[in-house]
Amino acid sequence: MTNSQYVPDKPKTTVEQFEVERKQMVETQLRDRQIEDQRVLAAMSKVPRHEFLDSWCQDFAYSDRPLPIPHHQTISQPYIVAYMTQAANIAPSDRVLEIGTGCGYQAAILAEIAKQVYSVEIIPQLSQQASQTLSKLGYKNIQFKIGDGYQGWVEHAPYDAIIVTAAPEYIPHALIKQLKINGTMVIPVGKWYQDIVVLTKKENDIVLEKTIPVRFVPMKKKF
Ligand code: SAH
């Protein structure tokens, strides 16, 4: 018998191990579940999700579940991030608005595939922390605003796509206004349980498609 049985396994938290887990995440949680957009898959393969989490939960970064972030908020399950990004149908030249910066993970995924990302967050500390994480990771095409997502971000409107990552009970009017004609908004709508709604704005009409059921944190009403 050698002593090797007493040598502990390599800690899970090495960069190499995270990379292995990230690859597995893309194969089993995304590709196997009809996430087919190559650019979404490439972004999800690249962005180091663990870097957005507190150290105590980094080991679960690539697991098939939502995770806690500070201030009682959550980062969505990887599949939901991929699903919403794919549904938003983003082109490389697009300017995208995100409501609910949170830890900044979804913003990073968007920044990989869009030209410019504008992200609004109501909790100042989360916005500041996300901005630090994303600049440390080298992202230069994301702008942050501390504010109420119900108002959108009118200065940079109209947007080619809008992704909302907190759940309102109704689709905020300002967001529809700030979407380009033929633009897409992806938004969880509902009170306790929600459905992801994919909204397409037409010249004189709005097309709504109710898709998968989800559970997001509520979109706060007061700033
Ligand atoms: N996209 C995030 C997940 C966000 S969780 C990520 O990748 O980490 C939802 C976020 O929406 C929380 O950070 C919450 O503070 C924020 N939020 C809730 N109500 C809001 C509002 N009215 N305006 C802007 N942000 C809001």
CA gap 65, 25 in Å, rounded: 11
> Which residue minimizes the CA distance to atom 6 of ligand 1?
102
Half-sphere exposure of residue 37: CA atoms within 13 angstroms, side-chain side: 19
**Contact predicate 93/122, CB 8 Å:** no
Ligand 1 centroid–CA 103 distance in Å is 9
Q: Return the higher-pLDDT residue of 2 and 61.
A: 61
pLDDT at 13 (0 to 100): 72
Rg (CA), the chain: 18
pLDDT at 1 (0 to 100): 42
The residues annotated as belonging to the active site are 76
Q: Is pLDDT at 144 greater than 90 in this prediction?
A: yes
**Contact predicate 61/21, CB 8 Å:** yes
List CB contacts of 203: < 8 A, sequence separation 6 or more: 181
State pLDDT tens for residues 92-132: 999 999 999 999 999 999 999 999 999 999 999 999 999 99
223: pLDDT confidence band, cut at 50, 70 and 90? low
196: Cβ below 6 Å to ligand 1? no
List CB contacts of 34: < 8 A, sequence separation 6 or more: none
pLDDT at 12 (0 to 100): 58
The mean of the pLDDT values for the chain is: 94
CATH number of 11-214: 3.40.50.150
114: Cβ below 6 Å to ligand 1? no
Q: Return the higher-pLDDT residue of 52 and 221.
A: 52
Q: Which atom of ligand 1 is nearest to the CA of 163?
A: 1
Three-state SS for 31-69 is HHHCCCCHHHHHHHHHCCHHHHCCHHHHHHCCCCCCEEE
- In which order are the strands placed within the sheet that holds 95-99? 142-146, 116-121, 95-99, 159-164, 179-189, 194-202, 205-214
| 195: number of Cβ within 10 Å | 16
* Ligand 1 binding pocket mutation candidate from 51, 72, 121 (most atoms within 8 A of CB): 121
Q: Which atom of ligand 1 is nearest to the CA of 103?
A: 8
Query: For residues 148, 150, 154 and 157, what is the CA-based torsion angle, rounded to 10 degrees?
Result: 130
126: Cβ below 6 Å to ligand 1? yes
Q: Which two tokens stand for residue 123?
A: 């909790």
Q: Is pLDDT at 9 greater than 80 in this prediction?
A: no
Q: Which atom of ligand 1 is nearest to the CA of 120?
A: 24
109: Cβ below 6 Å to ligand 1? no
